[in-house]
Amino acid sequence: MSLFRKHYKTPASNELYTLFDDMASQPHLLVAGATGSGKSVVVNGIIYNLLHNGPEESGLILIDPKRVELIKYKSVPHCIKYASEPEDMIKALEYAMRITEDRYKTMARQRVSKYAGGHIYVIIDELADLMTTQGKAVRPLIQRLCQIGRAANVHVIACTQCPLAKVIPTEIGVNFDARVGLRTRNAQDSRNILGCTGCELLPRYGQAYYMTPDGTDLWNVPMYPADAVSAVVSWWTSRKCVA
């Protein structure tokens, strides 16, 4: 296990929040692990940190097949689209693609290679559900978003408990050079996520391997209290109602 660097952050650490900030800064992010391993903790941590920015800085397109994890963020002004029905999920991805293409047109007019405006995060709560039920329609959309989104500040954050080839086909997977590997069912699932074993040996929850182009680190994953998340959602929701 010497391949991995270890980072153990305590709640008192000033660096408690840098993990989620760094994840949000990646072009795209894959979060994978078995049921109950902590995927929700990671996704909620990322969104909670993003909600400390204004809506013009961090827009959210939320794809929530299970209608459980992301619905609480539907009311915040950052949420551009929320989709839980099959047809709506396809439309949400198509909308993200239109935003990306419009930003490329702006970049062409300005003769720049990087979009200078805010960031859009396309967050998919369970990629396996989406690929199983709507794979033919969504596969090319996700692939294209991953291929061209980074220059337009459009990021894909995809979560799955089934890191199989049919869920993460090669043409999509190669675009996720940042990955979070939580506890997996077996060594093969770990290989599918990180390219090596190790995730199957993690505790049931609380720790994760975080892989970026700079290397792979072992982290204690911080967890925000539910009341803190509810408070920031309520604060933004009240501002949206006033607006």
Residue 238 in tokens: 């009240």
160 forms beta bridges with 32
Q: How would residue 3 be classed by pLDDT, with cut points 50, 70 and 90?
A: very low
User: Does the predicted model carry a pTM greater than 0.85?
Assistant: yes
- pLDDT at res. 174: 93
Read off the pLDDT of residues 98-150 as tens digits, 9 standing for 90 and up: 999 999 999 999 999 999 999 999 999 989 888 888 888 999 999 999 999 99
Q: How far is CA 3 from the centre of its chain?
A: 25
For residues 199 and 190, give the distance between their C-alpha atoms in angstroms, rounded to a whole number.
5
Dump strand ranges (E) for 65-203. Answer: 79-83, 119-124, 154-160, 179-181
Length of the chain: 243
Is residue 147 in some structural domain?
Answer: yes
Dump strand ranges (E) for the chain. Answer: 5-7, 28-32, 58-63, 79-83, 119-124, 154-160, 179-181, 207-212, 215-220
Read off the pLDDT of residues 215-237 as tens digits, 9 standing for 90 and up: 999 999 988 888 989 999 999 99
For residues 83 and 15, give the distance between their C-alpha atoms in angstroms, rounded to a whole number.
33
% of the chain residues with pLDDT over 90: 72
Edge-to-edge strands of the sheet including 215-220?
5-7, 215-220, 207-212, 179-181, 28-32, 154-160, 119-124, 58-63, 79-83
Backbone angles phi, psi at 64, to 5 degrees: -130, 75
Residue 23 near residue 46, CB atoms below 8 Å = yes
Mean per-residue pLDDT, 192-197: 93
Q: Tell me the residue type at 174.
A: V
Is residue 116 in some structural domain?
Answer: yes
Is residue 233 in some structural domain?
Answer: yes
Beta-strand pair 154-160/179-181? unpaired
Closest to 44 measured CA to CA, from 31, 33, 57, 35:
31
Domain CATH number, residue 65: 3.40.50.300
Is residue 243 in some structural domain?
Answer: no
Q: Give the domain extent around 75.
A: 5-238
Number of domains in the chain: 1
